[in-house]
Amino acid sequence: MAKKYFYITSLLLLFSSGIYAQENKDTAVNSKIQEQPFENLNIYPNPVVNDRVYITSKTTAPKDIEIFDVLGKRVMQITISSKELNVSSLTPGVYIIKIKEGEQRATRKLIIK
Q: pLDDT tens digit string along 4-63?
A: 444 454 444 444 444 444 444 444 444 455 556 777 899 999 999 999 999 999 988 999
Q: Looking at residue 38, what is its pLDDT? A: 76
The CA-CA-CA angle for residues 63, 82, 96, to 5°, reads 45
Q: Which domain covers residue 16, as residue numbers?
A: 1-33
Q: Looking at residue 26, what is its pLDDT? A: 46
Question: Both 10 and 48 in a single domain?
Answer: no
Q: pLDDT tens digit string along 101-113?
A: 988 999 999 999 9
DSSP state of 36: P
- Counted domains in the chain: 2
What's the average model confidence in pLDDT over 88-100? 96
Question: Both 23 and 54 in a single domain?
Answer: no
Preceding amide of 45 cis, omega within 30: yes
What pTM does this model have? 0.68
Question: Both 22 and 49 in a single domain?
Answer: no
Q: Looking at residue 82, what is its pLDDT? A: 94
Mark 70-83 as b/e (b = at least 16 C-beta within 10 Å): eeeeebbeeeeeee
Question: Both 23 and 76 in a single domain?
Answer: no
